[in-house]
């Protein structure tokens, strides 16, 4: 195993899948000569050539549309949006064509493509570079919405996404890109799409999170253990759609207290669907109302106010103590 950042692990996944399958092609703005705005595709054009690593014009609808056509005709395109906020320009192509072609053709056509996009804040960028709008895609039938939380699971999930027969939206947390290194095996490793993981065991509280919020949530759980004696189950969703509710609903039946942590705005965010599943499957086991620690219902602020917007360990710990105290976690 080698210790890698998320950027390096994603590059490894692309490199190995391109070497294994000639149908895998990359396209996007600056993915070739420059290696992508965050260098995820660095060096791939040198190894695989301009026919398989395509620098495109600044036209997100064109990038998505071309990827759909490639996929329908037998290729496995991996297209990159420089930032998730730029993908709105391609939403017609994604929602009206990529997501619907299998249904529209009654199964005769499929769209095995991946749309990669850096998402979220924490890197002092502008508003369209810092948003967390995964709910748009998770709400769209026909799409899968994957959000890894670290180098190793990012590599394994990207391999699964490339091999998937249907379109996968693959969000990558910019704040995690180079935040830390993790052991990543050289040999092939995959994780099933649509399967969550428990990354910490506890009996007092259930914490449900994903993406960039996994590390601060896990750190908050460890501090709560040291300082307060509170032991939390921590669930990393890994995939927002299809949503695997098996682990967090089972955990809620054991702990009776649940907190959801995500960077996306509070209203109509992924946390709302998680709460709905908990009410449907674990309601009679809940001892207090479910708490959400989320972004706020405003446009993502510029970097001078960014850290007030993004959920952090202090907000998570405060909500946890309230859940174990007066039972009103709220949205600190």
Q: Which residue, among 140, 157, 168, has the nearest Cα to 191 in the 3D structure?
A: 157
pLDDT, average across residues 261-270: 96
Residue % of the chain over a pLDDT of 70: 98
Q: What is the pLDDT of residue 328?
A: 54
Q: Which residue, among 247, 260, 279, has the nearest Cα to 210 in the 3D structure?
A: 260
Does residue 237 have a pLDDT over 60? Answer: yes
- Model confidence, pTM: 0.95
pLDDT tens digits, one per residue of 283-309: 999 999 999 999 999 988 887 788 888
Does residue 243 have a pLDDT over 70? Answer: yes
Q: Which domains does the chain have, with CATH numbers?
A: 2-184 (3.40.50.970), 197-324 (3.40.50.920)
Does residue 196 have a pLDDT over 90? Answer: yes
pLDDT tens digits, one per residue of 36-88: 999 999 999 999 999 999 999 999 999 999 999 999 999 999 999 999 999 99
pLDDT, average across residues 22-33: 97
pLDDT tens digits, one per residue of 108-167: 999 999 999 999 987 777 777 888 999 999 999 999 999 999 999 999 999 999 999 999
Which residues participate in catalysis according to the annotation?
Answer: 129
pLDDT, average across residues 170-181: 96
Does residue 326 have a pLDDT over 70? Answer: no
């Amino acid at each position: 195993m080698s210790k890698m950042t998320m950027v390096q692990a994603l590059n490894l996944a692309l490199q190995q899948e391109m070497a294994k399958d000639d149908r895998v092609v990359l396209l996007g703005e600056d993915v070739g000569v420059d290696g992508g705005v965050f260098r995820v595709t660095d060096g791939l054009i040198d190894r695989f050539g301009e026919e398989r690593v395509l620098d495109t014009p600044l036209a997100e609808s064109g990038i998505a549309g071309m990827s759909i056509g490639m996929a329908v005709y037998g290729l496995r395109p991996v297209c990159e949006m420089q930032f998730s906020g730029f993908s709105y320009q391609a939403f017609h192509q994604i929602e009206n064509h990529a997501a619907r072609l299998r249904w529209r053709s009654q199964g005769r056509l499929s769209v095995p493509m991946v749309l990669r996009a850096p998402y979220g804040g924490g890197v002092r960028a502008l508003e369209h570079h810092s948003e967390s709008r995964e709910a748009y895609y998770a709400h769209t039938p026909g799409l899968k919405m994957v959000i890894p939380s670290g180098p190793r699971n990012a590599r394994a999930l990207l391999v699964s996404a490339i091999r998937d027969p249907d379109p996968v939206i693959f969000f990558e947390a910019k704040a995690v890109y180079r935040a830390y290194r993790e052991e990543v095996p050289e040999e092939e490793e995959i994780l099933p799409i649509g399967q969550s993981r428990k990354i910490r065991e506890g009996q007092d509280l259930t914490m449900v999170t994903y993406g960039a919020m996994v590390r601060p949530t896990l750190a908050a759980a460890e501090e709560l253990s040291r300082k307060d004696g509170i032991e939390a189950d921590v669930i990393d969703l890994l995939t927002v759609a299809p949503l695997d509710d098996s682990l967090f609903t089972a955990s809620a039946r054991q702990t009776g207290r649940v907190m959801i942590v995500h960077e996306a705005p509070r209203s109509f965010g992924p946390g709302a669907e998680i709460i709905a599943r908990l009410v449907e499957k674990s309601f009679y086991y809940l001892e207090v109302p479910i708490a959400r620690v989320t972004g706020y219902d405003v446009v993502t602020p510029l970097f001078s106010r960014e850290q007030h917007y993004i959920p952090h360990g202090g907000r998570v710990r405060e909500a946890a103590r309230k859940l174990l105290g007066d039972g009103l976690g709220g949205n600190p």
